[in-house]
A and B are shown apart, each in its own frame.
Chain A
Amino acid sequence: MAILLRCGPLSAEDGEGRELYASVTVSLDEENLTVLEGPSGGGKSTLLRQVAGLAPAKRVTRELGGRRWGENELPDWRSQVTLLMQDAPVIPGSVLENLSFPYLLGSAGGRAFDNERAGRLLEEVGLGTIAIDRPASTLSGGERHRLALVRALLWEAPVLLADEPLSGLDGPRASRCFDLLREHARRPGHAVLCVLHDPSMGRATDRRLCLEPEGLTAK
């Protein structure tokens, strides 16, 4: 299977200067859902933020679809390697505004917000009954995570980096959202790297990686 993304070497320390990991290179296969595991506080979120280009990382080589991306192309890189953030933040405004704001950015290019597909996805994640003009700030934690997932799936980035996207979801809903992520990952030209709160769900995946101080190992 072809490698879709390669990013590294990445190193990070915690707030006290203790090394979390060193010289780690993340590589993701196309049409694959990879789950990232590791001890709590071991730097999984930091690794995802570094791959997404949100956390600082020095002398890193970034490759996507065989093309190397420079430091000055980070905004474009982020639009292709999109991070689903751990705490599922929202911007001030309605549910609809929260789904559609990326299409107002220059990075959207010619892409347009697909209202119909947004409705279908909202239905699938159990948010079909929520009014789209409702202020997003009034959503619960679990609802925000599902909204973030719908936004990320609509954006159609080749690579999704999902940091605990199922937090606050009950069993059946978490399962359905995980299925959507896996369906997205298994499409041609796509891949997903996911950190899961519940490791048991990681069994239904294509590949499992473990982040430890010694490095990134396959399980």
Chain B
Amino acid sequence: MSGLIQLTPVDLLVATVLVIAAGLVSLAMRLDIEKRLALSAVRTVVQLGLVGLILERVFALRRPTLVFVSLVVMIIFAGREASSRSNRAYRGMRWDTLLAMGATCLVVGAVVTQVVVGVQPWYDPQYVIPLLGMILGNSLNGVSLCLDRLLEHLSVRRHEIELRLVFGATRSEALREPIRAAIRTGMIPVTNMMAAAGIVALPGMMTGQILAGAPPMQAVAYQIVIMFTLAAANAMGSMLIATAAARRLVAADGRLKAES
């Protein structure tokens, strides 16, 4: 990592010129996104700055409880974000997204950090936090897309579900297609990302490692691990949220509860 070029506050200011240029384009073309762009840029600086400070502290202390607390906070925020992204809502949705994100993050995260990468000690924050952060960030997309699609199906296409019910379909038979379609939708971002990896763009983690001076093949190996991990996380997160939402919104006999 000796080749790493250190960035100074001046470099960050120069980069700010780029985002200002984007804002000027918005003003010139009346896109009306300059305020949103400015707010997002400020949020990026504040949020990442805070994360940087917290991570430096967590990395320096290297305590398992601190790593665990950081993960719990990350899971709570991810669960909240996944439910707030959906256009529709139901009672208990936040608990379901929290459960889906938490279970996905812990199960897939445990496999990748403990079995695949073999992190030593098991809680080493330098590996555990960024890897689980990537899992959360990506499965968040999958979970919210999957949930949105399922809720839309249950609302807009409820007659199709009832059509199966009137011929004696059980709950699982009536929901098979809506759940399948929702999981498929939740998996789209990760399958697209895997298909385009290396051809359309170099994935973020690999780019970061190469910039930090890692040998390209090592960066590729990490990226492959991450992509397969994200595929598993998206699949698991989507399956969990679709099942949890369906069980909450559809009675055991298949009747859609929204009618009651």
Contact = CB atoms under 8 A, between A and B. Distances in A.
Interface of A: 52-56, 71-72, 74-76, 78-80, 82-83, 85, 87, 89-92, 101-102, 105-108, 155
A202 to B, nearest CB: 23
A60 to B, nearest CB: 13
Interface string B161-181: 011111111100100000000
Contacts of A101: 164, 167
> Size range of the interface on B?
10 to 19
B168 A76 contact: yes
14 contacts: A53-B253, A55-B259, A56-B259, A72-B253, A75-B254, A78-B166, A78-B167, A78-B168, A101-B167, A102-B167, A105-B169, A106-B170, A107-B167, A107-B169
Nearest to B252: A72
A75 B168 contact: yes
Interface string B242-260: 0000000000111100011
B166 A105 contact: no
A74 B159 contact: no
B253 A79 contact: no
A82 B165 CA distance: 9
B71 to A, nearest CB: 41
B162 A155 contact: no
B32 interface: no
Interface of B: 159-160, 162-170, 173, 252-255, 259-260
B255 A87 contact: no
A55 B167 CA distance: 15
Contact of A89 (B162, B169, B253, B254): B162
B163 A91 contact: yes
A75 B165 contact: yes
Contacts of B169: 75, 105, 107
A71 B255 CA distance: 12
A83 B168 contact: no
Given A89-B160, A91-B160, A54 B165 contact: yes
Contact of B253 (A71, A82, A155): A71
Nearest to B163: A89
Contact of B260 (A56, A75, A76, A89): A56
Find the residue from A87, A91, A101 having the highest chain B CB count within 10 A. Answer: A91
B162, B166, B255, B259: residue with the most chain A Cβ atoms closer than 10 Å: B166
Given A75-B169, A75-B170, A106-B173, A91 B253 contact: no
Nearest to A82: B166
Contacts of A107: 167-170
Contacts of A89: 159-160, 162-163
Contact of A105 (B159, B164, B260): B164
Contacts of A76: 168
Contacts of A53: 253, 255
A72 B251 CA distance: 11
A89 B167 CA distance: 13
